[in-house]
């Protein structure tokens, strides 16, 4: 049978971001998929190297609007790693609180979009309706619905008002009740089950081979979670579980995210309780950053986000490298999309919760056309890592 | 075109394209359609094709790869179409104005009629912006 090509994008009505897929089909079956990214490339790393350490936190927050506190957290971890800066206990709890609130809102957002992708707009409206209280909590804490601007090297920028705690706990109770309802409804729903079960399976082996991270890996039975593996902030002081399921299909990815919402809500409750008793400063003043390099990791809603900072003792980073979770999750499409019907391809693409804004910081130009395939990006990134390593060690 | 604009203002159909945003404004645009704000009660509807749209919402800076595509989409739109730029990025370039990949003049790519600044603008301010547009259309 001859192979046909179906172009999707760059401005497809279903996709929020500009992205382009070239899906090759034989009849109804997907045989190959090519991606063209770079529509979102804004040159973050370059701009960050022109800014001071404090300014680059503002900048990395704008890498992605959905996981907009994961990047700042990883970034401040990287800066703090250079000088082994300690942060006050209260600031650790506030960081964890913000990070987990974001996880809830991001997972609910994904759940809604997944519903939208399979033509199930009721789920979309529902999930987004119950996401609003989370944004309200953000508004109470930081004054903005997204882009909270809470992180600062050595602590956090803003304290949580003790008077606001009862109100926050009340909203959290509301969210908990709704989440239980929505999880039960999604679990019982025959439409979701028949549409998502057994679709776009990413096997355990593939998840390891493609170095998948976050819910994508955890749904395939790979127990990886930076919060547990290398606890930072208050994650070693709170009690929570890492959700792992085995099947690796889209349904399991949904289940992992739904259960993670519950775990996040558990963490938030513990943090809010602790914020009642733990008092003290929220930021350690950092006067200067000594020469050196540091790495920062954080478990973003989509998986591990990684920042690397190198300082020469001035107030600017001389190198800032970002690796976003979608960067490693997006290539898993090639493993999970092959051989499935075209109708299931889009939800499979969406199931890793791809964030192109986070990912796109490299374009390769071939001839006149700009081409960037995932394999190339991976190879380029590895070459670059090698190069950096060589310059550091002077070999 | 006064009579046409008045008919347009009754029910605005919007099409949304993202330049190179951080996603946040796009999410807030979608948020406007969900139950808390529910713009559909005012006849504002997100459509799947530019050929059905009366208003074009753009977010983000326009990088050099996406700019020709945005210009192409604008060309396909039935005129008159009103372009609303959402967020600080299309307004001033936000923190990306020093980037090597940004198109210097956004107005060269597409003409923009209305700016709604904010990073991201609150849904309330987006509604206000659209309400102002309706006011202008009604004359």
Chain B interface includes A132 (CB < 8 A): yes
Q: Predicted ipTM? A: 0.90
Determine the structural domain holding residue B46 and report its residue range: 2-138
Q: Which CATH superfamily is domain A46-324 in?
A: Cytochrome-c3 Hydrogenase, chain B (1.10.645.10)
Q: φ, ψ for residue A268 (rounded to 5)?
A: -60, -40
Confidence category of residue A108, pLDDT binned at 50, 70, 90: very high
Residue A149 DSSP class: -
Q: Give the one of B22, B65, B95 whose C-beta lies nearest to A65's C-beta.
A: B22
What pLDDT is attached to residue A380? 67
Cα dihedral A302, B34, A193, A183 sign: positive
> At residue A363, does pLDDT exceed 60?
no
Chain A interface includes B129 (CB < 8 A): no
pLDDT digits (tens, 9 = 90+) for A248-274: 889 999 999 999 999 999 999 999 999
What pLDDT is attached to residue A96? 93
| Annotated domain spans of chain A | 46-324
Q: CB distance B65–A43 less than 8 Å?
A: no
What pLDDT is attached to residue A332? 85
* Peptide bond connecting A10 to the previous residue in cis, omega within 30 degrees of 0: yes
Q: How far apart are CA A357 and CA B68, in angstroms?
A: 19
Q: How far apart are CA A177 and CA A286, in angstroms?
A: 42
Q: Give the one of B19, B22, B36 whose C-beta lies nearest to A64's C-beta.
A: B22
Per-residue confidence in pLDDT tens, chain B, 139 aa: 677 778 778 888 999 888 888 888 888 888 888 888 888 888 888 888 899 999 999 998 888 888 888 999 999 999 889 999 999 888 888 888 888 888 878 888 899 989 998 888 888 888 888 888 888 888 7
What pLDDT is attached to residue A369? 47
Q: CB distance A62–B119 less than 8 Å?
A: yes
Q: Which residue has the tokens 């989440």?
A: A179
Give the chain A residue whose CA is nearest to the CA of B95. A59
Secondary structure element (H or E) that encloses residue A309, with its range: strand A303-311
pLDDT digits (tens, 9 = 90+) for A128-170: 999 999 998 998 898 888 888 889 999 999 898 888 899 999 9
Give the 3-state secondary structure of A314-374. CCCEEEEEEECHHHHHHHHHHHHCCCCEHHHHHHHHHHCCCCHHHHCCCCEEECCEEECCH
> At residue A372, does pLDDT exceed 60?
no
Give the chain B residue whose CA is nearest to the CA of A361. B101
- How many separate domains does chain B show? 1
Phi-psi region of B100 (alpha: psi -120 to 50; beta: other; left: phi over 0): alpha
Give the 3-state secondary structure of B93-129. CHHHCCCCCECCCHHHHCCCCEEECCCCCCHHHHHHH
- Alpha-helix residue ranges (DSSP H) falling in chain A: 44-48, 53-61, 70-83, 89-117, 121-142, 165-188, 190-196, 204-209, 214-218, 226-229, 250-277, 325-329, 333-336, 342-351, 356-359, 374-393
> At residue A189, does pLDDT exceed 90?
no
Chain A interface includes B21 (CB < 8 A): yes
Cβ(B127)–Cβ(B57) under 8 Å? no
Cβ-based burial of A250 (10 A; exposed 0-12, middle 13-18, buried ≥19): buried
> At residue A375, does pLDDT exceed 70?
no
How far lies A385's CA from each of A381, A382, A389, in Å? 6, 5, 6
Q: How far apart are CA B121 and CA B106, in angstroms?
A: 19
Neighbours of A350 (CB within 10 A): 20
Cβ(A248)–Cβ(A221) under 8 Å? yes
Distance from CA of A18 to the nearest CA of B (A): 6
Residue A283 DSSP class: B
Please give the structure tokens belonging to residue A363: 């374009």
Residues of chain B found within 8 Å of residue A326, distances taken between Cβ atoms: none
Q: What is the dihedral of CA B118, B120, B123, B129, to 10 degrees?
A: 40
Q: How far apart are CA A322 and CA A320, in angstroms?
A: 7
Q: What is the pTM for the complete model shown? A: 0.89
Most confident stretch, A93-107, A108-122, A365-379, B24-38: A93-107
Describe chain B by its helix, strand, coil percentages, rounded to 5: 45, 20, 35
Q: CB distance B96–A147 less than 8 Å?
A: no
Domain with residue B99: its CATH number is: 3.40.50.12280
Q: CB distance B65–A39 less than 8 Å?
A: yes
Please give the structure tokens belonging to residue B97: 């104005």
């Amino acid at each position: 049978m001859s192979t046909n090509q179906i172009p999707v994008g760059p401005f497809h009505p279903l996709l929020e971001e500009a992205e382009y897929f070239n899906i090759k089909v034989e009849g109804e079956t997907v045989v190959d998929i090519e991606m063209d990214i770079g529509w979102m490339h804004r040159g973050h790393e370059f701009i960050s190297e022109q800014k001071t350490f404090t300014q680059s936190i503002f900048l990395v927050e704008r890498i992605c609007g959905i996981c907009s506190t994961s990047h700042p957290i990883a970034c401040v971890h990287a800066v703090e790693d250079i000088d082994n800066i300690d942060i006050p206990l209260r600031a650790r709890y506030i960081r964890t609180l913000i990070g987990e609130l974001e996880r809830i809102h991001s997972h609910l957002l994904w759940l809604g979009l997944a519903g939208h992708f399979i033509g199930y707009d009721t789920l979309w409206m529902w999930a987004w309706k119950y996401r609003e209280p989370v944004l309200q909590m953000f508004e109470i804490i930081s004054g903005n619905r997204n882009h909270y601007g809470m992180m600062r090297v050595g602590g956090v920028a803003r304290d949580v008002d003790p008077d606001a705690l009862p109100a926050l706990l009340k909203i959290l109770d509301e969210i908990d009740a709704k989440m239980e309802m929505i999880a039960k409804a999604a679990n019982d729903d025959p439409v979701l089950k028949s549409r998502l079960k057994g679709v776009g399976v990413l096997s355990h082996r593939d998840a390891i081979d493609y170095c998948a991270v976050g819910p994508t890996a955890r749904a395939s039975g790979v127990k990886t979670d930076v919060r547990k593996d290398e606890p930072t902030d208050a994650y070693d002081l709170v009690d929570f579980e890492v959700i792992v399921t085995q099947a690796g299909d889209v349904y399991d990815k949904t289940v992992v995210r739904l259960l993670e919402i519950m775990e996040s809500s558990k963490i938030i409750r513990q943090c809010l309780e602790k914020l009642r008793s733990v008092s003290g400063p929220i930021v350690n003043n950092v006067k200067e950053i000594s020469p050196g390099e540091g790495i920062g990791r954080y478990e973003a809603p989509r998986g591990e986000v990684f920042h690397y900072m190198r300082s020469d003792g001035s107030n600017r980073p001389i190198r800032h490298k970002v690796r976003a979770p979608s960067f490693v999750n997006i290539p898993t499409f090639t493993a999970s999309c092959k051989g499935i019907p075209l109708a299931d391809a889009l939800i499979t693409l969406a199931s890793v919760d791809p964030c192109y804004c986070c990912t796109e910081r490299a374009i390769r130009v071939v001839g006149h056309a700009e081409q960037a395939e995932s394999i190339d990006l991976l190879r380029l990134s590895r070459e670059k890592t090698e190069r950096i390593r060589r310059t550091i060690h002077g070999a | 075109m006064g009579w046409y604009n008045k008919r347009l203002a009754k029910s605005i159909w919007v099409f949304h394209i993202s330049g190179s945003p951080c996603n946040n404004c796009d999410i807030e645009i979608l948020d406007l359609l969900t139950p808390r704000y529910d713009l559909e009660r005012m006849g504002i509807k997100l459509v799947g094709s530019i050929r059905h749209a009366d208003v074009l919402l753009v977010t983000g800076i326009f990088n050099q790869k996406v700019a020709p595509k945005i210009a192409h989409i604008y060309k396909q739109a039935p005129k008159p179409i009103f372009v609303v730029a959402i967020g600080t990025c299309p307004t001033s370039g936000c923190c990306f104005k020093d980037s090597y990949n940004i198109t210097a003049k956004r107005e060269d790519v597409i003409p923009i009629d209305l700016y709604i600044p904010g990073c991201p603008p609150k849904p309330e301010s987006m509604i206000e912006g659209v309400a102002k547009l309706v006011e202008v259309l009604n004359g």
